[in-house]
Structure 1
Amino acid sequence: MKLLNKESDLEFLSVEYENIQFHMLRSDDRLSFISCIVCVCETAQEIIGNWRAIQNMVAVYHQHSGGFDAWNMYLAFVSAERISVWEKYEIENNKFSARKIVLDGLQENIDIDQLILELERQLFGSDLKLETQPSLVQENSTDFGKYYRGAPLDFKNESKEKRAFMVDKIIKSLNSDEN
């Protein structure tokens, strides 16, 4: 999944906050729609002083009243300056209106394409790689595999009975080892 820079009318924010740049990003996947309003601030103090008012304006002027809007809407606050851990925690853990991300300590004059890559890492884990490794068999481990291999995983009655029989075999095996 990718984030795309979309033209959107964010004038309701731009008029109120002249020192902050606003960008609208949207996912390219129709089935898992995500939107993100990026607020690029010159200082950390602009974020700290304005994030609540910005979220309120987004809630009033941009979001629908449908109940799931807050879970597919993000507000990303960006600054080259560092924000205190406590302030960042407070902003990111406030779930009113939208989920929030604070990207601080970034290079000055970061362009939107770099921000998109960073937000894709934050939102989608795009930097994660799945590596396959051969499973290591421990020689001295108890081999329960012989008791549960081939267990049916469906909800049929005969499958449930077979799994119950397998569990009984394991319990009997453990009880016989104790004596």
Structure 2
Amino acid sequence: MNLTSASSDRIRKLQESFPDFAFDLFTAGNSEFVSCIACWVENSELLEQKWNAIQNMIALHYRSERKIARWNVYIAFFCRDHVSRPLKLLIENDKFTARKLVFDSGTENKSWKKKEVALERLNYEIFEVNLAVGQSYGMKVEYTPSSLVTYLRNYSSATTEDKLEMIETLLMEYGIHENKKS
């Protein structure tokens, strides 16, 4: 699983309300099980002044249709300037609306504003994977889902008996069943 660029229509209101910031939306495939709103800002003073207002607007206007996906929303702030440790901790420890990440580059280099660089950093931070850049496909990662992920995909549509069987199989697979014979 990795993040890719998604429709920016859902964040247009953010761009209109905060013209000093640039925004983009990344989701984990079509499912939007994990989504991240990336925000780029030139200096840490603007970040300090506006981050809370941005998260409040996101709380009002950006909501996933799927309940489980609401717990997997990230807001990532990319700042060209150095961001002080107290400000970084304040933002990242605030869990209202979404989990937050702060990246500062402290350099004049333009790479801090590139979408590919942001995707690489976000995929590493969120999924802890190293990505290879695919030819004209953007970021690409090989992902083999565990049996737990496979079961979770089918869980909501399964019957009660199927759910019990899934749980039993997973417990046996991971060796933590209370009735497991030694």
TM-score using structure 1 length: 0.67
CA distance in 2, matches of 1:75, 1:19: 17
- 1:13 deviates by 0.7
Asked if the contact 2:33–2:69 (Cα under 8 Å) also holds between the matched residues in 1, the reply is no
- Within a 5 Å distance, the mapping from 1:49-128 to structure 2 comes to 49-63=49-63, 68=68, 70-105=70-105, 107=107, 108-110=109-111, 111-127=114-130
The residue that corresponds to 1:20 in the other structure is 21
> Which whole-Å CA distance do the structure 1 matches of 2:88 and 2:6 have between them?
27
Q: Which amino acid aligns with 1:11?
A: R
Q: Distance in 2 between matches of 1:64 and 1:156?
A: 39
Question: 1:100 corresponds to which letter in structure 2?
Answer: K
Distance 1:94 1:67, change over 3 A: farther
Letter in 1 for 2:127: F
Instruction: Quote the residue 1:170 is aligned against.
Output: none
Higher RCO (C-alpha 8 Å, min separation 6):
2
Following the alignment from structure 1 to structure 2, what is the Cα–Cα distance between the partners of residues 54 and 67?
Answer: 22
State the distance in 1 between where 2:73 and 2:129 align: 18
- Report the secondary structure of 1:101's partner residue: strand
Residue-pair matches, total: 135
* Closer, same or farther: CA 117–155 of 1 in aligned 2, 3 Å: same
Instruction: Give the 3 Å change call, closer, same or farther, for CA 84–153 of structure 1 in structure 2.
Output: closer
Instruction: Could you tell me which runs of 5 or more consecutive residues in structure 1 were left unpaired when the two chains were aligned.
Output: 129-151, 164-179
In structure 2, what is the equivalent of residue 144 of structure 1? none
SS of the residue corresponding to residue 127 of structure 1 reads: coil
1:87-110: CA deviations, max 9, x gaps? Answer: 100100000000000011265323
Q: Post-superposition shift, 1:29?
A: 7.0
* Cα shift at 1:127: 3.0
Structure 1 residues 69 and 27, CA gap change in structure 2 (3 angstroms): closer
* Secondary structure of residue in 1 paired with 2:37: strand
Which deviates more, 7-16 or 100-109? 100-109
Q: What are structure 2's unaligned runs of at least 5 residues?
A: 132-174
Structure 1 position 37 matched with structure 2 position 37: yes
Q: What is the distance in 1 between the residues matched to 2:78 and 2:176?
A: 48
Counterpart of 1:116 in 2: which secondary structure?
A: helix
Change in CA separation of 1:28 and 1:64 when aligned onto 2, cut-off 3 Å: closer
SS in structure 1 opposite 2:17? coil
8 Å contact 1:20–1:39 — kept in the other structure? yes
Q: Does the aligned pair in 2 maintain the 1:14–1:20 contact within 8 Å?
A: yes
Cα offset for 1:69? 5.1
Deviation at 1:28, TM superposition (A): 2.2
| Higher share in helix | 2
- Structure-1 residue corresponding to 2:135: none
CA distance in 2, matches of 1:112, 1:53: 23
